[in-house]
Structure 1
Amino acid sequence: MPVESGSGAAARQAKQKRKSHSLSIRRTNSTEQDRAGLQRDMLESQDSKLPLSLRTNLLDLFGQIEREFENLYIENIELRREIDTLNERLAGEGQAIDGGDLTKGALKAKASHSTSQLSQKLKTTYKASTSKIVSSFKATTSRAVCQLVKEYAGHRDGIWDLSIARVQPVILGTASADHTAMLWSIETGKCLLKYVGHAGSVNSIKFHPTEQMVLTGTRCSKETPPFCLCYRIRGTDGPIWSLQLPAPQPVTDINQAPCDEDVDFSDKDEGEGEGEGSSECPTLRVACTTLKSHQGVVIAADWLVGGKQVVTASWDRAANLYDVETSELVHTLTGHDQELTHCCTHPTQRLVVTSSRDTTFRLWDFRDPSIHSVNVFQGHTDTVTSAVFTVGDNVVSGSDDRTVKVWDLKNMRSPIATIRTDSAINRVSVSVSHRIIALPHDNRQVRLFDMSGVRLARLPRSNRQGHRRMVCCTAWSEDNPTCNLFSCGFDRQAIGWNINIPALLQEK
C-alpha cells in the first residue's frame, strides 16, 4: 500500500478542518434560529405567571450560558484535533508512538501541556461567565432593599422635575409638560395646590431653603396673546415664577395666603381632563414675582444660599443671576457654546455650576463680589444633562454619553470616579447624609451608586410597579421615614420609594 506523503496528509487535515469549521458555523446559525424561535414562543405564551420583563431577563441569561458552553465545546474539539495532528506529525517523522521511552515521554509532555492549557482556559472562561451571571442575579436580589411606597398621579403630561421642601411642612413639588406645577402631600399622595399660571411646559421646580416659597422655570407658547397669563414680554420665551405658598395642611388655611385672592377652590378647572388629585386640588393662577430677561426657554432654576438670589439656565446659552426682592437682573453668565440644560447651587457657599449641550459644565464663583471666576470642565463627549454639588468638595455630572463622573473641586483635572451605564442619564441627585447617587435613565431604570462608582441597587421596574417611560429626575428626602427617594418621568407620575440604606450599604 502506498504511503501518503507529508504534504498530502497536511492537505487532508486542512480540508477536514475547513469542513468541521463550516459545519460548526451552520450548527451555530441553526442554534441561533432555534433559540430565537424558542424565545418568541416563550414570550408569547400566556401560561407563565412571570412578568414579561423578568422572563426576557431570564431568557437572556440562559442564552448567555448556552453560548459560553457552545464556545467551550468548539474550542475543546479544536484542541483535541491539534493533539491528533501532533501525533500524526511525530509518526510521519519516524518517531513511532510504540517506540522508545523518549518518544513516549515527548508525546506525553505535549499532550499534558495541551490538556493543561485546555483546563486553564475552561476554568478562566467558566469563572468569567459565572461571575457575570451571578452579578446579574445579585443586582436582582438587591431590589429587596428598595420598595415602592406611594405614587403621585394627576398630571396630564410628562413630569420634567421634582423637588422636596426644605422646611416644614415637608411636601413634594412637581413640574410638568402639561403647563402646571403641583404640590403634593408625601404621606397621603393627594394634591395640595396646583399652579396653573404657566402658558407652556414647566421645566423646573425648586423650594426656597428657609421659607415657603417655590421657584419654577417655564417656556411660553408663542401663540398665546400678550394679555394672557404667560408673562411673555418682548418675545421672552421663558419667565421664572416665584410663588408664595400657603400651609398645605389643613387645606382650608390657604385662605390666609398672601395671594389668597388668586386661589381657586372650584372642583375642576374648565377644560381640564379627569385625573386623580385634579378634582379636589385648589389652584393658584398669579405669581407674586416674575423674573424675566431670557430670550429662550428657561430649563432650570435654583436658589443661591441665603435665598435672596436665584440663578436660571436657559436655551439662549446664558445663565442669569437675579435679585428676588427687586426682580432685577444682577449678572448674565455667558460662555457656553450651546443651550444650557441644568444649573445647581452649592448648599453652603456662593458657587454655581451650569451644564450644557456643548459637552461641558462650568463652575461660577460668587464668593467675592468683585471676582466671578469661571472654570470649564470637559470630561464628557456628549450633552451634560446635569451637574450637582454634594456636601463637601465634590461635583457629580451626568451625560448623554452614558457616563456619570465624580469630581473633586480641589483638583478638577480628571474625575476621581467614572460610572458607565447602558443608557443616557438625566437629572441626578445625591443623598447628603449617605453620599449615594441616584441615576434616572432614558430606559426607565433608576440605579443607585456610591461615590466611588460601585453599583448598589436598581429600583424595581415591572408592569405593576416602577416607571413605564423615561425617568427624568430624582430627588432625596433625607429625614422622611416613609419615602426617602422620589423619581418622576414621562409616564405622568412621580413615585416615592423607601430605600433601606443600612441594608443597601451592608450588601455592598
Structure 2
Amino acid sequence: MPVESGNSVAARQAKQKRKSHSLSIRRTNSTEQERPAGHRDMLEGQDSRLPMPLRSNLLDLFGQIEREFENLYLENLELRREIESLNERLAGEGQTVDGGDLGKGALKTKASHSTSQLSQKLKTTYKASTSKIVSSFKATTSRAVCQLVKEYVGHRDGLWDLSVTRTQPLVLGTASAVNSIKFHPTEQMALTASGDQTAHIWRYMVQLPLPQPLADTSVSDDDVDFSDKDEAEGEADGPSECPTVRVASTTLKSHQGVVIAADWLVGGKQVVTASWDRAANLYDVETSELVHTLTGHDQELTHCCTHPTQRLVVTSSRDTTFRLWDFRDPSIHSVNVFQGHTDTVTSAVFTVGDNVVSGSDDRTVKVWDLKNMRSPIATIRTDSAVNRISVSANQRIIALPHDNRQVRLFDMTGVRLARLPRSNRQGHRRMVCCSSWNEENQTCNLFTCGFDRQAIGWNINIPALLQEK
C-alpha cells in the first residue's frame, strides 16, 4: 500500500478518508515534445553541442561534486581542529605523566599515531564520497537517456494512480480521490476503485481532433463538478471548459472495505477488484453480478493485476505475499502463493512473457518465473519503499516509483539503467505513487504520478545494444 516516508500513519489515515471519485482523463500528445523548464532555465544562453539529456546529467553531477567537496572541506577543517586539540592535550599530559616530563620522542610518536588515524578517516570519507559520485555518473550517462516531456496538472490533491489506453486515440487517466483507474482494452470505458467500498465503470467519448490535453473529467458521488475556477487556473494547458462525467454506467458492490484497485480481464467482459476486506472479487461486466470471491490473504489487499493475454490474476497484500489466480479453466481456480518479501507487497504485475514482478515496502523488487515460483530469479534492492510498478511490454524495463520522490529504471535481470531526473525545477517533488508505460507513443512513453498533484510524461530512450542484452 502506498505510504509516504516518515509519515506512514498519517498517509494511511488520509487514504481511509477518501470516499468520493475524482479522475482526470486527458488525451496524450504524440507529436508535441517540450523541453523541460529546468533545462531551459539552467542552459539558457549557453552555446553547447552536447545533447540536452547529457548536459542535464553533467550539470546534476557537477552540482553533486561541488556539494561533496564542500562537505569534505568542512570535515577537513573539523579534523584539523581535532588534531590541534589532541596535540594540546598530549602536550599537557607530557608535563605531568608519572610526575615528570614525557620524552619528546614518546610524545611525538603518540601524537603521530593519533594524527595518522584521523588522516585515514579523512581518506576513507573522501574515497566513499568520490566513489558515490563516479557510480552515479556511470548509472545516469551510459545506460539510458531520460527526458521530461510534459507535466499534467489540475488536481487539488495527490494522485494515487494513472493509466493509459492501449488503443487509439491515446488517452491518459489520472486518479486522485479514486484509488485506481484502468481503461478497457478496446472500448472507451474506464474502471475505477473507490474508498466507498465500490467500483464503477464509466463511459466516455473522445472525438478527433481535440486539443491536448483532451479534458479534465471529474466524477463524484454527489455530482459535484470540480472543474471550477481554482482548478482551471491550476491547469495552464487545459481547456477553459471541462466536460464532466457524472453518472457511472455500472456500479459494482459487494466489498466490505475500501476497494483499493481494479482491473479488466483479457477481453474486457469481466473485472477483478481488490479490497481492504482481504478479498478480491470477480464480476461480470454486462450483468454486474459477482462471479467469484477470491479469499486467502491474511491482511488487506493492496493491488490487483491481470495478464494481458491470459485469464490470470495476481493480488498483493499487506501480509507480505502475493497470489496467482488461474481462470483459464472455468472449472478450476487454482492459486499459488509467492513468499519472499518481508513487508507489504505494494504491487505485482505481469510481463508479456512468463514473469511476474513484485514491489514492496521492504525496499526490494523481485522478478519471478511462473514456471518455477519457489524463489525469485532476480532481486533489486533499493533505498526506499517501492509503490505501484510497471513493466514495458517491448523493452521489458521495470519502472520503480519510490516514497523518496525518485523513479528508477531496471532491466529484468536487476541491472540499473537510469534514474529519472529530479531537481527543484524538474521531476516529482513528493512521493511517487505509480508508473505506467505507453509504448504506442514514441515521444512520451512513460508516465508517473504522485503526491505533488501532478502527472509527468517522460521520453525514455534505451540504447539498442542494451535492449539486445
The TM-score normalised by the length of structure 1 is: 0.64
1:158 equivalenced with 2:165 (yes/no): no
Tell which has more relative contact order, 1 or 2 (C-alpha 8 A, sep 6+): 2
Which residue in 1 is equivalent to 2:136?
136
1:213 equivalenced with 2:189 (yes/no): yes
Which residue in 1 is equivalent to 2:48?
none
* Aligned positions of 1:369-448 closer than 5 A: 369-448=330-409
Alpha-carbon shift at residue 126 of structure 1 (Å) = 10
Quick check: 2:143–2:466 contact (8 Å CA) kept in 1? no
Which residue in 2 is equivalent to 1:77?
none
Alpha-carbon displacement from aligned partner over 1:162-206 (angstroms, at most 9, x marks no partner): 111011111111111xxxxxxxxxxxxxxxxxxxxxxxx201000
The alpha-carbon distance between structure 1 residues 150 and 352, as it changes in their structure 2 partners (threshold 3 A), is same
Quick check: 2:344–2:360 contact (8 Å CA) kept in 1? yes
How many residues end up aligned between the 2 structures? 357
Question: Structure 1: how far apart are the matches of 2:404 and 2:134?
Answer: 23
1:202 equivalenced with 2:161 (yes/no): no
1:455 equivalenced with 2:431 (yes/no): no
Alpha-carbon shift at residue 67 of structure 1 (Å) = 12
Question: Structure 1: how far apart are the matches of 2:467 and 2:253?
Answer: 49
1:347 equivalenced with 2:308 (yes/no): yes
Which residue in 1 is equivalent to 2:244?
283
Quick check: 2:144–2:460 contact (8 Å CA) kept in 1? no
Question: Structure 1: how far apart are the matches of 2:124 and 2:62?
Answer: 29
Question: Structure 1: how far apart are the matches of 2:465 and 2:125?
Answer: 30
Alpha-carbon shift at residue 385 of structure 1 (Å) = 0.2
Which residue in 1 is equivalent to 2:197?
238
The alpha-carbon distance between structure 1 residues 504 and 279, as it changes in their structure 2 partners (threshold 3 A), is farther
**Aligned residue among 411, 433, 442 for 1:481:** 442
- Secondary structure class of the residue paired with 1:386: strand
Quick check: 1:142–1:458 contact (8 Å CA) kept in 2? no
Q: Give the number of the structure whose residues are more often helix, by fraction.
A: 1
Q: Percent identity?
A: 82
Which residue in 1 is equivalent to 2:167?
167
Quick check: 1:448–1:455 contact (8 Å CA) kept in 2? yes
1:57 equivalenced with 2:64 (yes/no): yes
Question: Structure 1: how far apart are the matches of 2:431 and 2:124?
Answer: 38
Question: Structure 1: how far apart are the matches of 2:439 and 2:232?
Answer: 34
Which residue in 2 is equivalent to 1:98?
none
Question: Structure 2: how far apart are the matches of 1:54 and 1:128?
Answer: 16
Alpha-carbon shift at residue 248 of structure 1 (Å) = 4.4
Quick check: 1:387–1:397 contact (8 Å CA) kept in 2? yes
- Secondary structure class of the residue paired with 2:141: helix
Alpha-carbon shift at residue 280 of structure 1 (Å) = 2.0
- Secondary structure class of the residue paired with 1:139: helix
The TM-score normalised by the length of structure 2 is: 0.69
Equivalent position amino acid for 2:167 in 1: V
Equivalent position amino acid for 2:64 in 1: N
Question: Structure 1: how far apart are the matches of 2:67 and 2:361?
Answer: 26
- Secondary structure class of the residue paired with 1:137: helix
- Secondary structure class of the residue paired with 1:136: helix
**Aligned residue among 319, 328, 340 for 1:367:** 328
Alpha-carbon shift at residue 283 of structure 1 (Å) = 0.7
Which residue in 2 is equivalent to 1:321?
282
Question: Structure 1: how far apart are the matches of 2:68 and 2:131?
Answer: 12
Question: Structure 2: how far apart are the matches of 1:507 and 1:327?
Answer: 45
1:312 equivalenced with 2:273 (yes/no): yes
Equivalent position amino acid for 2:279 in 1: A
Equivalent position amino acid for 2:162 in 1: L
* Aligned positions of 1:250-289 closer than 5 A: 250=209, 268-269=227-228, 274-276=233-235, 277=238, 279-289=240-250
Quick check: 2:65–2:133 contact (8 Å CA) kept in 1? no
Alpha-carbon shift at residue 269 of structure 1 (Å) = 4.1
Quick check: 2:399–2:410 contact (8 Å CA) kept in 1? yes
Quick check: 2:143–2:417 contact (8 Å CA) kept in 1? no
Equivalent position amino acid for 1:151 in 2: E
Alpha-carbon shift at residue 274 of structure 1 (Å) = 4.0
Question: Structure 2: how far apart are the matches of 1:499 and 1:349?
Answer: 28
Higher Cα Rg, which structure:
1
Question: Structure 2: how far apart are the matches of 1:384 and 1:62?
Answer: 39
Equivalent position amino acid for 1:392 in 2: G
* Structure 1: gaps spanning 5 or more residues: 1-48, 71-122, 177-200, 220-236, 253-263
The alpha-carbon distance between structure 1 residues 144 and 369, as it changes in their structure 2 partners (threshold 3 A), is closer
Quick check: 1:267–1:279 contact (8 Å CA) kept in 2? no
Equivalent position amino acid for 2:357 in 1: V
The alpha-carbon distance between structure 1 residues 245 and 217, as it changes in their structure 2 partners (threshold 3 A), is same
The alpha-carbon distance between structure 1 residues 461 and 55, as it changes in their structure 2 partners (threshold 3 A), is same
* Structure 2: gaps spanning 5 or more residues: 1-43, 45-55, 78-122, 212-222
Alpha-carbon shift at residue 65 of structure 1 (Å) = 7.6
